Chain A
């Protein structure tokens, strides 16, 4: 295979993108205070992991990882549903979606 020189199609490129996506998601989760954006950043990180799983699945020629990604999506969908309902609920209580307002458990 002459793929060693072809950067575009080599699998480590996808891994690189996956890591970058994860990092961006993490930075977003740390900097932003809007709860909805935070949820989006978490979705971003989840997708980064999915991408990585698919990359390894392709590398090993094994479908199990892709099934795992499928289940991840299932869980992510459920998580987004519940998470968003919680945000609605929280907004009703404090009229704010600033995450730092919700620190009542601290003391």
Chain B
């Protein structure tokens, strides 16, 4: 029973913070709320016993990526400018479109087999580091190694793009 209450609270807090990401005028606030959202998502992973992903989510998203966002915001120094916003009509259209999407998705959910099922207690070990490590270094080892190439490419790309053009010429 308490688990139920906790999950409902966590769920509503996740959605609320996610809404605040979208609604807050200032980008810095958005970033902060996004970090909060990621925290709650992490907590959900823990509830589903996906321990490895919970930790990775915490480190990569809430840690690395969000710091990157903050850095960029600081670099650009946007404080003085007014935040650009869409027109009211466009916003209304966006909300209607989003609402319909949500309705459709919920309708799809209505018929799924998963409805009313809890996670299986006997299988809850799959999210552990040991299990995933086994999978990652056997079945998916090639893909795992290839990610390093992806990261190198991303690094090189980021450095090249962020450099000033003059420096590139020199």
Secondary structure type dominating chain A contacts: helix
What are the interface flags for B62-95 relative to A under an 8 Å C-beta threshold, 1 for contact and 0 otherwise? 0011001100110110100001111000110111
Interface size class of A (residues with CB under 8 A): 35 or more
A69 to chain B, nearest CB (A): 6
A5 to chain B, nearest CB (A): 8
What are the interface flags for B120-145 relative to A under an 8 Å C-beta threshold, 1 for contact and 0 otherwise? 10111011000110011001100100
Question: For the complex, what is the distance from the CA of A77 to the CA of B59, rounded to whole Å?
Answer: 11
* Contact with B118, one of A10, A30, A57 (Cβ below 8 angstroms): A10
Determine whether B169 belongs to the interface, using a CB cutoff of 8 Å to chain A: no
User: B7 to A78, Cβ gap below 8 A?
Assistant: no
User: B69 to A57, Cβ gap below 8 A?
Assistant: no
Q: Please tell me the number of chain B residues within 8 Å of chain A, measured between CB atoms.
A: 91
Enumerate chain B residues within 8 angstroms of A44, measured Cβ to Cβ.
Answer: 18, 21, 34, 37
User: B68 to A81, Cβ gap below 8 A?
Assistant: yes
Closest to B19 in A: A24
User: B150 to A75, Cβ gap below 8 A?
Assistant: yes
Enumerate chain B residues within 8 angstroms of A98, measured Cβ to Cβ.
Answer: 84
What are the interface flags for A52-82 relative to B under an 8 Å C-beta threshold, 1 for contact and 0 otherwise? 0011111101111011011101111111111
Question: For the complex, what is the distance from the CA of A17 to the CA of B157, rounded to whole Å?
Answer: 35
User: A66 to B126, Cβ gap below 8 A?
Assistant: yes
User: B136 to A40, Cβ gap below 8 A?
Assistant: no
* Contact with A58, one of B21, B93, B127, B161 (Cβ below 8 angstroms): B127
Question: For the complex, what is the distance from the CA of A28 to the CA of B95, rounded to whole Å?
Answer: 9
What are the interface flags for A68-107 relative to B under an 8 Å C-beta threshold, 1 for contact and 0 otherwise? 0111011111111110111111011000111010000000
User: A21 to B18, Cβ gap below 8 A?
Assistant: yes
User: A66 to B118, Cβ gap below 8 A?
Assistant: no
Closest to A26 in B: B98
List 28 interface pairs A-B (beta carbons < 8 Å), by A numbering. A7-B8, A8-B6, A9-B3, A11-B114, A11-B117, A12-B114, A14-B48, A21-B15, A24-B22, A28-B21, A30-B86, A32-B22, A34-B27, A57-B50, A58-B50, A58-B119, A66-B126, A71-B140, A76-B60, A77-B154, A78-B151, A79-B154, A80-B65, A82-B161, A84-B72, A84-B158, A86-B161, A88-B72
The interface of chain A, by Cβ under 8 A from chain B, is 1, 3-4, 6-17, 19-28, 30-34, 36-37, 39-41, 43-44, 47, 50-51, 54-59, 61-64, 66-67, 69-71, 73-82, 84-89, 91-92, 96-98, 100
